[in-house]
Amino acid sequence: MNPFVHHLGQIALVAMAVVYGFDLSSPSFSDKPTVPAFNMLAFLDTQVATQEDVKDVRCWSSVSKLQMFLTGAEITPEAIGQRIEYHMDLLESIWAESSNLEPNEPLVSRASVKNVLEKRFPYSSDTTGNYFKLNVAPNEIMVPFDASEDYSDTIEPWRLMQSWAARKAGPDGTLKVSQQFSQESLDELYQFLRVYDLALMQYGRVIAEKNHQAWVDKSAMAEATTFESVIIP
């Protein structure tokens, strides 16, 4: 081939690359498809919808009955409402604290969430269940493994996270946060909530019994939301 013609061909190819943005370092003109950004609310919506198709306990009344059975006391609707609002504040604080550990990352990692949970809500485990050691009577709250497994059938932990994430979205459903929980960190929160939520309600039962009540009312649940402050680090 005439060297001059070959040189003109190279110049033309470079010119096309400049105009159209081709990457000459790649054997193909097209880059790999862009991976879509993770959306925690969409993920949680999918989890709830998918789990509702396979779990045994779905409706609110059935969830409430199972919660009462697992914690050993009736829980009034007002107390349940108090508990839900507490969990919204709890998830907000966990998100704020864990996102501050890696402010330049678009997603909060499992490691950051785990770091926060282990510092604020330490508990131990043996062959029967998980134990929260307390600095007040009854000195510990134990959540049996079978109870937390049964509680998984309610998908309540997913619903709590879904409700929190929905509050971070605008009217058009777009999330209004600079950092989201990653899928792995949401999985970590799920495992935590399925234990902690039962422990919280059990502590509410302890307070109700101390007040000589056969049920957990709103005031007992409000006092139970101090549970974090009585856990021994």
Structural domains for the chain = 1-34 (no CATH), 36-230 (1.10.20)
- On whether the pTM is more than 0.85, the answer is no
State pLDDT tens for residues 32-47.
444 448 999 999 999 9
Task: Report CA 86 to chain centroid distance, whole Å.
Answer: 14
Task: Report CA 19 to chain centroid distance, whole Å.
Answer: 46
State pLDDT tens for residues 127-143.
999 999 999 999 999 99
pLDDT at 63: 61
pLDDT at 51: 81
DSSP summary character for residue 231: B
State pLDDT tens for residues 181-190.
999 999 999 9
**Amino acid identity, position 33:** P
CA dihedral (233, 201, 66, 42) positive or negative: negative
DSSP summary character for residue 169: B
What is the rounded distance in angstroms from the CA atom of residue 106 to the CA atom of residue 122?
A: 27
pLDDT at 24: 43
pLDDT at residue 110 greater than cutoff 50: yes
Task: Report CA 140 to chain centroid distance, whole Å.
Answer: 25
Q: Is 22 exposed, middle or buried (0-12, 13-18, 19+ CB in 10 A)?
A: middle
Strands (E), 50-114: 74-75, 107-108
**Amino acid identity, position 205:** R
What is the rounded distance in angstroms from the CA atom of residue 229 to the CA atom of residue 200?
A: 12
The helix/strand/coil state of 143 is strand
What is the rounded distance in angstroms from the CA atom of residue 95 to the CA atom of residue 179?
A: 9
